[in-house]
Chains A and B, each alone.
Chain A
Amino acid sequence: MQKKLKITDFISIFFRSFFIQAVWNFQSMLAVGFSYSLVPVAKRLFKSKMDRKKFFERHLNFFNAHPYFSSFALGAIARIEEDYVLTGKSDYQKIERLKNALIGPLGAIGDQVVWATLKPASILVGVLGVLVIQDFKSKIIFLMLILILYNVPHLYIRFFGILKGYNLGFNVYKLLNLDNFKAYKLFYAGIGALSLGLFTGFTIVIYSNINFRYFIIFIVSIMSAYIYKKWKQSFYGSIIFPLMLSILMGVILESI
């Protein structure tokens, strides 16, 4: 059967997906952005205003996912809606069930892979470069490297997520298993952990060479921030308390 959706529609979905969180709200969460991204699908598949209205009513109620990984759901929904139009058979309850089933995996995988792995690893490489490299121009190259390390997989997930979701349709859930992203997660987590180790090692060498007091402050502030964060789970407190402690220790150490 001749497919209705064209590559230009997927490109349009891809660009619209950059604004998927613009109307993020406590009631429907990602639903408005999700529907906004699906506008090219509605335009291509439905010609009458009434059909388009029904299409958006199906998708405006509630949806949530990681913003990048929502592309898998966008692709799958595009495929299913297209199939319904082509075959003339429709079961919109199944779409609703699929969307509800995807919320958990898309959020969990996205948070694990992007926020907890990709983002800190990319930035840590840049931070390490800025600390270690003396030449200013090379430091700027490391800033560029952050953007490359982060955005290549970011854009890949956004675009190929749409295509893979479209190819798999209802079967998209089979792809959404953390094991499928394990190698990628291990690679970036390794880079991040190694950068953090190198960063700490370099800082220890610098501070030990300049002034041993600096080294003490550095170690105490690592420990106090770590313990305070674990103990109170407060972001602001785990900055303010160790910061005050380091200044106070500085005053005491200078007066000895």
Chain B
Amino acid sequence: MENVLIGLLGSLLVLDTTVAFQFLISQPLITSTLLGWFLGDMQLGLEVGFYLQLLWLSSMPVGAAIVPEGNIAAIVITVLVLRYNAIYHNFYTLLVTGIIYGILVSFVGGELVVLYRKINVKLMQKLLYKAKMGYFFRLSRINLTALFLHYVLMFILITIALFCGDILYGFFESIPADWEQYFRYGSIGIIGIGVGLILPLYREKSNLVFIIIGLVAGIFFFMILR
């Protein structure tokens, strides 16, 4: 039942990605914190969101590009990590495996967006046909239909992904506890990957100067602070 509730809430947040508002609420850092609050551990939600945000920060919805659906992945990963960390207490194992699973979910999410946009073509054609027949345009209805369709598609994906995640994480009992130290390295890798993926956004010379200033200042400032 909780999976369905999260599906209902999560697909509402996903609308913010491209189809409505675009206030950044759908970014993993915000979404995961909100889900953490909903599931009773806001702090852990924020921590998961922090890692996921770094990975998905560099993806840009430029033009007609189909970007990886990081927000759907963030919802699924956050819920699974929060749920199973309370049982297994191996945060890094859950996080890293969750990210691998989340990548698959985000890929399926991207494919669903393609499907959604193809269905929108049909809606558009219907609209034009009605126009030629002399019917008054029902733009609001078409808009609402498209929003609802997006909501339903994402709800189905999130709910199924959560159910499949439950099955998958059921096998985690057999993972040796000392593997946690290896996955800890994976979590550090995630932060590094995030930085490595963001760097190309700032490859202009003027930006590189700021990065270097920040880097040097950061090292000195935090060394003194510590």
B218 and A199 within 8 A (CB): yes
Stretch at the interface among A79-87, A88-96, A162-170, A238-246: A238-246
Nearest opposing residue in chain A for B19, CB measure: A22
Q: Which residue from A26, A32, A220, A245 sits with its C-beta under 8 Å from B127?
A: A32
Q: Is the C-beta of A102 less than 8 angstroms from some C-beta in chain B?
A: no
Known: A23-B124, A36-B143, A123-B29. A242 touches B18 (CB 8 A): no
Please name all residues of chain A whose beta carbon is closer than 8 Å to the beta carbon of B210 when the two chains form the complex.
189-190, 193-194, 197
A39 to B142 alpha-carbon distance, docked (Å): 13
Q: Mark A227-253, 1 if CB is under 8 A from B, else 0.
A: 001100001101110110111011101
Say if the beta carbon of B39 comes within 8 Å of chain A: no
If over half of A's interface residues share one DSSP class (helix, strand or loop), that class is named, otherwise mixed; here it is helix
* B219/A201 in contact, CB under 8 A: yes
In the assembled complex, how far is the CB of residue B132 from the closest CB belonging to chain A, in whole angstroms? 9
**Which residue among B120, B183, B212 has the maximum number of chain A CB atoms within 10 Å of its CB?**
B120
Interface pair A201/B125, CB less than 8 Å apart: no
Q: Which of A2-10, A70-78, A125-133, A171-179 contacts B (4 or more CB under 8 A)?
A: A125-133
| A26 engages B121 (CB within 8 Å) | yes
| A236/B68 contact (C-beta < 8 A), A123-B57, A205-B219 known | yes
Q: Judging by beta carbons under 8 Å apart, are A123 and B202 in contact? A: no
Centre residue among B124, B140, B188 by max chain A CB count within 10 A: B188
**Cross-chain contact B136 with A52 (CB below 8 angstroms):** yes
Given contacts A189-B207, A220-B192, contact A19 B217 (CB under 8 A): no
Would B189 and A217 count as touching, CB distance under 8 A?
yes
Count A/B pairs, Cβ under 8 Å: 308
Known: A33-B143, A197-B217, A217-B189. A242 touches B96 (CB 8 A): no
Instruction: Name the B residues within 8 Å of A116 (CB-CB).
Output: 60, 201
Q: How large is the interface on A (under 10, 10 to 19, 20 to 34, 35 or more residues)?
A: 35 or more
How many angstroms between the C-alpha atoms of A230 and B216 in the bound complex? 25
**Provided the pairs A147-B30, A218-B192, A236-B68 are in contact, do residues A197 and B57 lie with their beta carbons within 8 angstroms?**
no
Check if B120 sits within 8 Å of A23, measured CB to CB: yes
Judge whether A242 and B192 touch: CB under 8 Å: yes
Q: In the assembled complex, which residues on chain B have CB atoms less than 8 Å from the CB atom of A26?
A: 64, 117-118, 120-121
Instruction: Report how far A60 CA is from B64 CA in the complex, Å.
Output: 18
Cross-chain contact B21 with A60 (CB below 8 angstroms): no
State whether A254 touches B182 (Cβ < 8 A). Answer: yes
- CB of B146 within 8 Å of the partner chain: yes
Residue of B62, B117, B193 near A111 (CB, 8 A) is B62
B214 near A236 with CB under 8 A, answer no
On whether the beta carbons of A236 and B60 are closer than 8 Å, the reply is: no
Distance A214 CA – B181 CA, assembled complex (angstroms): 11
- Judged by a CB distance under 8 angstroms, whether A156 is at the interface is no
Known contacts: A32-B124, A60-B128. The answer to whether A151 contacts B189 by CB under 8 A is no
Q: Contacts A26-B121, A238-B197 given; indicate if A197 touches B189 (C-beta within 8 A).
A: no
Is the C-beta of B40 less than 8 angstroms from some C-beta in chain A?
A: no
The 7 closest A-B pairs by CB, nearest first: A197-B214, A201-B218, A250-B185, A246-B189, A221-B192, A225-B196, A193-B210
List 5 other contacts, CB 8 Å, given A204-B215, A205-B226, A242-B196. Answer: A119-B60, A120-B201, A139-B46, A238-B197, A251-B185
Taking beta carbons and an 8 Å cutoff, which residues of A are in contact with B? Answer: 18-19, 21-29, 31-33, 35-36, 39, 49, 52-53, 56-57, 60, 64, 67-68, 107, 111, 115-116, 119-120, 122-124, 126-127, 130-132, 136, 139-140, 143, 146-147, 150-151, 154, 186, 189-190, 192-207, 209, 213-214, 217-226, 229-230, 235-236, 238-240, 242-243, 245-247, 249-251, 253-254
Q: Residues of B at under 8 Å CB distance from A?
A: 18-25, 27, 29-30, 33, 42-43, 46, 50, 53-55, 57-64, 68, 96, 99-100, 103, 107, 117-118, 120-121, 123-125, 127-128, 131, 134, 136-137, 139-140, 142-143, 146-147, 150, 181-186, 188-202, 204, 206-219, 221-223, 226
* A-B residue pairs in contact (CB < 8 Å), sample of 17: A25-B117, A64-B64, A67-B18, A111-B62, A115-B62, A127-B57, A143-B33, A143-B46, A146-B24, A150-B23, A186-B206, A214-B185, A217-B192, A221-B188, A246-B185, A250-B181, A250-B184
